[in-house]
Structure 1
């Protein structure tokens, strides 16, 4: 029974984490291009497909005008949702609720670790703090490459080329929240 509580708590905590990112995006009026939960992907046309096995989840945003502030809030939104669950649920409410509360705390802590290889929320927040202009530029370029190749991207190209040898090389190529 304990194993079942752990599995269900982990699934629930991950869903709450991704919902935190989605709620922040909604509040900031930023569109969500894709939401992935455990291998299932929902795109912005509300089509659901299975993209293989996956224990994690992600949200891909369509943010045409990223700023340091809105990217920071987006990256932190999932962990904040998990922390809110920890703060709001009673600690002595039975094994199932206690396990769920603990799992939310674990998910919040792990996703805030700056693990660049996993492109965690923590690694993206650290990149945002260490290289704010380069991170916003990278995000903008990624947006235009994946969503709309336009004159706006052509205007950004000289700036991109001038930063390729600099700190931009340390920024993740893509990010999964």
Structure 2
């Protein structure tokens, strides 16, 4: 499992990032089917769980529906890690940022919004929209667990530039203060 530790550190602090990093070698939780945790073998892979402050949910390319296994893991994580006054950040990714999606405009004109190789069916807008829709579903589940809507921050990042899975949500319980 690969987790964006920089995002965890930025959002939850270095202690949370160290805690997640230390727990990354634990076996991922299975969704009940042996092949469900393999994104290549399922339309809705099972989530992979970090420790304590972070939960990572994986999706198949373009899929908006949270799997039952992922929902069960989110439910368990919310019950174990959150309270009504918990602050949560939902970082949602969809697609992989390639050189065509550079953050700076080329000298000759505006940035090129063509998708990177490997995600030719996604435009940048589609990737961000997919990420946002997934984040809304996770937010609604957390609200159903009693987390105040005002304590939940959504970040539909779209294409990921890190080494983590391209189609995922990182749900981070932020530390107080």
TM-score > 0.5 by shorter chain: no
Structure (1/2) with the larger strand percentage = 2
Structure (1/2) with the larger helix percentage = 1
TM-score under structure 1 normalisation? Answer: 0.33
Q: Determine which structure has more spread, i.e. the larger CA radius of gyration.
A: 1
